[in-house]
Structure formats: structure tokens, C-alpha cells
Amino acid sequence: MNEYEINKIKKLESFYWWHIARRELAISLIKKYLPKDITLTILDLGCGTGEFLGELSSFGQLNGIDISPCAVKLCQERGLKHVYQEDIVNLQFSPELFDLVTALDIFEHIEDDKKAFSESRRVLKKKGTLLLTVPANSCLWSHHDIALSHKRRYALSELKRKLVLSGFKIERISYCIFFLFLPIFLFRMVQKIYFEVSLFPPKTVYLIFPKFINTVFLWLCELENLLIKIGVNFPFGVSIVCVATKN
């Protein structure tokens, strides 16, 4: 992801419904699936601006990596010390070092995602946990994905297959951002048509709603998060969330 998009996300992630809901879902699943009585060793892949990495501080010892020097600098400016510029497919950490590896919307950026899954497994301790989100449904592919340097949007069956072949056991997997799928789909189609006829290069487009609408969208996502946490599986969605353990 380029520096322009990283700085755009930095401005949005503290208030925009999408970013808040995604972090809250990840935190709720960590609380459900990870032991509560130990200090965890944690690696956040593609830690970006460090907003999520900072929220993980209550769970244990933090480490983060990102391929962007801009992202690493932003994390360090937050006071996050153990953040390194590294490539996910060639991690410099020793094997079996971490209890938890997190990756929020990261693997879709990697050409060789199978190698990235394998590296994630390598640095996890035995029975360690990988928690990830990825964008879903190829019908949503648009210039938004191109601007973010995505290589793919996943189908749930595809993600499960790749994780199992990489040596993971699926503990929990579901589509998410289900209630808002239709309006997002319609917006992506309009965006796709616009950029196909325009002379402008692809860029991300975030609709900044009035605070009330942003709050309603967040409430809908928080309801989804609760349902996912108690075991409800959605048949489709804008994203996929998965908790997997190392076999």
C-alpha cells in the first residue's frame, strides 16, 4: 500500500465505522479463543499505522511488521517499539516464537499468500493462534481494491482450503459485514463504472457520513460481531474473519 493510502487510513481509523468494527471483532475473538491467564507473545502482520497493535497491548508483548517504511515510522511515533520493516513471506523471527499472530486485511496484498500462511504458521508456537480478516466476494472487486494493491478477494471455501493445506486447524470462520453488503455492493459497482470512464487513476473512496449514520453502521456491525462470537455463520459478506490454530 502506498504512503498516500496509509496516511488516509490513519485519519479515518479512529472514527470510521469499518475500522472500529473490524478491530472490535478481532478483540472479541481474541478474548474468546486465547487463554486469559497468560501474557501472550503477539505478532501483528502488516501493522500499518499501529492503531490495532496498540489495542493489543493489554494482552501481552507486542511485535509488529510492515513492508512500508512509512507505516513503521507511524508506529514508532505512537511509541510502539518493536516494529520492523519486513516482508511477510520472509519473516526474520525464529520458529515457534508467538502465541498469537494477527493479520487484519493483509493476505490479500500478498502475491504468494500460501507462502505467507506458511510463514505465519512457522513463527507460531505449537497450538498457537492465527487471527485474520480478508476482503471477500470477487463480485465486489473494484478500483478500491486496485488502489489498495489487492491481489484477490477471497471466497470462504478458498481461504479454508489454503489454511488447512498450510497446516492450520480452523476454529472459527464466517463472512462478516453482512447487513451492509447490498449498499456496499451498489456503491462498488458505481465506483467501478466511474473509474472505467474517467481519466483518473484508481484510488480508495470512503464515504464520510454524518456522525449519526456512522454510528448506526457501527451498531449494525457490532450486532454482527456479537452474533459471530456466539457462533452464527453468515452466508455472504464483504469480509471474512477466521481464527485458526497451528496443527
pTM: 0.94
Proportion of the chain above pLDDT 90, given as a percent: 82
Using CA of residue 70, residue 72, residue 74, residue 76, what is the dihedral sign? negative
Cell, residue 118: 506458511
**In CATH, what number is assigned to the domain containing residue 206?**
3.40.50.150
Q: Model confidence over 31-84: pLDDT tens digits?
A: 999 998 899 999 999 999 999 999 999 999 999 999 999 999 999 999 999 999
What dihedral angle (degrees, nearest 10) is formed by the CA atoms of 45, 51, 57, 59? -60
86 burial via Cβ count (<10 Å: 0-12, 13-18, 19+): middle
Residue 128 lies in domain: 3-246
- Res 37: pLDDT: 87
Least confident of 74-83, 139-148, 149-158, 180-189: 139-148
Helix/strand/coil (H, E, C) string of 189-224?
HHHHHHHHHCCCCCCCCCCCCCHHHHHHHHHHHHHH
Q: Model confidence over 187-228: pLDDT tens digits?
A: 888 877 776 656 566 777 788 899 999 999 999 999 999 999
Mean predicted lDDT score pLDDT of the chain: 94
Residue 46, sorted as left (phi over 0), alpha (psi -120 to 50) or beta, turns out to be left
The total domain count for the chain is 1
Cell, residue 72: 513503521
- Res 213: pLDDT: 96
- Res 191: pLDDT: 77
- Res 200: pLDDT: 67
- Res 197: pLDDT: 59
> What interhelical angle do 17-33 and 211-229 show, nearest 10?
20
Are 235 and 137 within 8 A, CB to CB? no
- Res 198: pLDDT: 63
Q: Model confidence over 92-107: pLDDT tens digits?
A: 999 999 999 999 999 9
